[in-house]
């Protein structure tokens, strides 16, 4: 799935959405283990065994492989044009191959049921789900909406896009699936015209998350951005402003702030909380797709690819 645009996510992640409702991530997460896992990614230790492995006595859903399945993809991006952002639609803008759409996730010692959008809506009737984070969450929001829509093409829907919040509603089932852009999870405030990343503050973003029934968080890539791609001018921690600091230290502080907020504000009897760690980079293929459609902002270093 690395180096693939949204359409690869659309189909390869179908199994991941099944997993989403089979496993509950405890809100009292092992933050240090997450940090170490991200640190390994940061240091490009790509061939190490995963730090966190599933219990081998049960279904090892996070240990397995991608297998070819000729029944995939589960939908065509051309049939879901209103939700997929153009810069992530590689098939529309010239990617020549399509074999990457023919794979599904196969856990080590069990079978995942095929994703069923109608069953999803029935199980989620009257509930809401929100993706929070960077483009990984945004891509999965778009993917899930398209997967469901392909199962209920005649269902009444309503969509609203904005920054930082976008939402898609399946009106016949009273189900809402939304995306909240917060690439660092913690707050960014304007102070004297400068963007300040507040490593110990999160309430500005988090107030929008409280009432969701399912929350799926991610953060990662943006912490390493520099130059024109960097999303802040200063960091603030413990009342002190920094022009920069060790990015892994900053990430750890931000994640601890997020984890403490979850522990203090989320009723796990009502809300399921998931955290996705850093994803493979997708900028190479995204860049090609964007350039093929004549994206003029890419050369400036502030393209749509990094929203």
Residue 79, CA distances (Å) to 7, 74, 169 in order? 12, 11, 18
pLDDT band at 272, cuts 50/70/90?
Answer: very high
What pLDDT score was predicted for residue 280?
Answer: 67
Half-sphere exposure of 30 (CA within 13 A, CB side): 8
Q: What pLDDT, on a 0 to 100 scale, did the predictor assign at position 302?
A: 28
pLDDT at res. 79: 82
Tell me the percentage of the chain whose pLDDT exceeds 90: 55
At residue 283, the pLDDT reads: 58
Tens-digit pLDDT profile for residues 90-117: 787 788 888 989 999 999 888 888 999 9
Averaged pLDDT for residues 231-258: 96
For the cut 80, the answer to whether the pLDDT of residue 259 exceeds it is yes
Residue labelled with tokens 């004297």: 192
Q: What per-residue confidence (pLDDT) applies to 284?
A: 54
Q: Is the pLDDT of residue 123 over 50?
A: yes
The CA distance from 229 to 247, in Å, is: 14
- For the sheet containing 234-237, what is the strand order? 188-191, 194-198, 234-237, 240-242
Q: What is the pLDDT of residue 61?
A: 84
Please compute the mean of the pLDDT values over residues 139-162 and round it to a whole number: 93
Residues 6+ apart with CB under 8 A from 290: 87, 93, 298, 303, 304, 305
Tens digits of residue pLDDT in 202-214: 999 999 999 999 9
150 and 117 in contact (C-beta within 8 Å)? yes
Position 296 pLDDT exceeds 80? no
**Residue-by-residue DSSP string for 102-156:** GEEEEESSS-PPPP-HHHHHHHTTT-EEEEEESHHHHHHHHHHHHHHHHH-TTS-
Question: Of the ranges 6-15, 112-121, 190-199, 239-248, which one carries the lowest mean pLDDT score?
Answer: 6-15
Q: What is the pLDDT of residues 57-94, one digit of tens each?
A: 578 888 999 999 999 999 888 888 788 887 778 787 78
- The CA-to-CA distance between both ends of the chain, in Å, stands at 20
Residue 246 has pLDDT above 90, yes or no: yes
User: What is the rounded average pLDDT for all residues in the chain?
Assistant: 78
């Amino acid at each position: 799935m690395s180096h693939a645009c949204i359409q690869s996510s659309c189909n390869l992640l179908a199994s991941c959405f099944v997993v989403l409702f089979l496993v509950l991530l405890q809100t009292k997460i092992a933050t240090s283990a997450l940090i170490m896992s991200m640190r390994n990614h940061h240091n490009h230790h790509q061939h190490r065994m995963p730090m966190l492995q599933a219990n081998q006595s049960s279904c090892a859903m996070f240990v397995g492989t991608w297998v070819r399945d000729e029944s995939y993809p589960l939908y065509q991006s051309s049939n879901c044009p209103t939700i997929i952002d153009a810069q992530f639609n590689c098939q529309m803008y010239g990617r020549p191959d399509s074999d990457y759409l023919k794979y599904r996730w196969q856990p080590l010692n069990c079978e995942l049921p095929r994703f069923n959008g109608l069953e999803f809506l029935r199980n989620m009737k009257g509930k809401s789900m929100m993706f929070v984070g960077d483009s990984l969450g945004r891509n999965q929001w778009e993917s899930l909406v398209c997967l469901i829509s392909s199962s209920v093409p005649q269902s009444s829907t309503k969509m609203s896009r904005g920054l930082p919040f976008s939402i898609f509603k399946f009106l016949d089932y009273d189900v809402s699936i939304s995306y909240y852009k917060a690439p660092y999870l913690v707050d960014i405030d304007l102070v004297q015209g400068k963007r300040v990343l507040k490593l110990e503050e999160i309430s500005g973003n988090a107030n929008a998350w409280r009432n969701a029934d399912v929350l799926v968080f991610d953060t990662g890539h943006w912490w390493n951005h520099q130059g024109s791609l960097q999303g802040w001018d200063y960091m603030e921690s413990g009342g002190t402003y920094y022009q920069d600091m060790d990015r892994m230290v900053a990430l750890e502080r931000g994640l601890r702030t997020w984890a403490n907020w979850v522990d203090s504000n989320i009723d796990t009897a009502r809300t399921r909380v998931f955290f996705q760690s850093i994803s493979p980079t997708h900028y190479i293929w995204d860049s090609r797709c964007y350039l093929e459609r004549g994206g003029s902002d890419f050369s400036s270093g502030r393209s749509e690819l990094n929203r």
